[in-house]
A and B are shown apart, each in its own frame.
Chain A
Amino acid sequence: MTLTYRAGPKDDLIWHGLDSMTLLFHRPSGITHMLADPAPAILEVMEEAPLTAVEIASRLRAQFDVEPGADMENIILARLEELSALGLVSRDSR
């Protein structure tokens, strides 16, 4: 069994870009989240599909210039757990 993550419905969120942060208003909870990289990019590439950390890393590499030498998959997993605890993504498995 492989652990996957799925972002919540797009309509639940209002995005607002700031200089170095992204504000995310989560309608169901009424909570505003201030996101720093790479969390906004992770949510962006997930597109509501159930994905593993490896698949998300692959999508990020395809769309962004990722800083070299980063432990991408483990960092993505840590961010996914963080986003999951906030109700912005859900855990799944396939």
Chain B
Amino acid sequence: MNDHLPSESSANVDQNNGIVTRRRALMMGAITASAVVSIKPALAQTAGSVLNCEIPVPGNNVAGGYIASDGSIVSADTPGAFPPAGRNFTGEEVRRAMNGRTLPGTSYDQSQAYVNYIRRLQSGQSGFTCYASLQMPR
């Protein structure tokens, strides 16, 4: 922990008995100057948002694509790939699937492929915010 604190290093060097020590400079600031900005997890303010948000598989940007077992988007003629899910999955359904259940209306392998797709979602893709909400502590 100490490695991170504080950020500024002192240029002062003390030499005692041949041992060189560096002390870090600490800016105290002003009494009225707040030292903390807090970022609240707005993505998951309530359990309700996780229950109700939806994740399309695949997202609109790759609509119609098939899902390989590793979650990647592949063409329809790829052996072993699964067709797009017929409906969006809710955050709660995805949470359960990540805990070992299968997504509604899917086989075990199909569910695994869809969950792998969801795990690979990145910011800006459909369903990412909902998936990110599942990761937030409550």
Contact = CB atoms under 8 A, between A and B. Distances in A.
Interface of A: 10, 15-22, 27-28, 30-41, 44, 60, 63-67, 70-72, 74-75, 78-79, 82-83, 86
Main secondary structure, interface of B, reads loop
B29 A37 contact: yes
A39 B26 contact: no
Nearest to B34: A82
8 contacts: A38-B29, A39-B36, A41-B5, A64-B6, A64-B10, A65-B26, A75-B29, A82-B35
B18 interface: no
A27 to B, nearest CB: 6
B: contact size bracket: 20 to 34
B39 A34 contact: yes
Contacts of B6: 22, 37-38, 40-41, 64
B35 A35 contact: yes
B37 A37 contact: no
B32 interface: yes
Most A-side CB within 10 Å, residue of B8, B31, B40, B44: B31
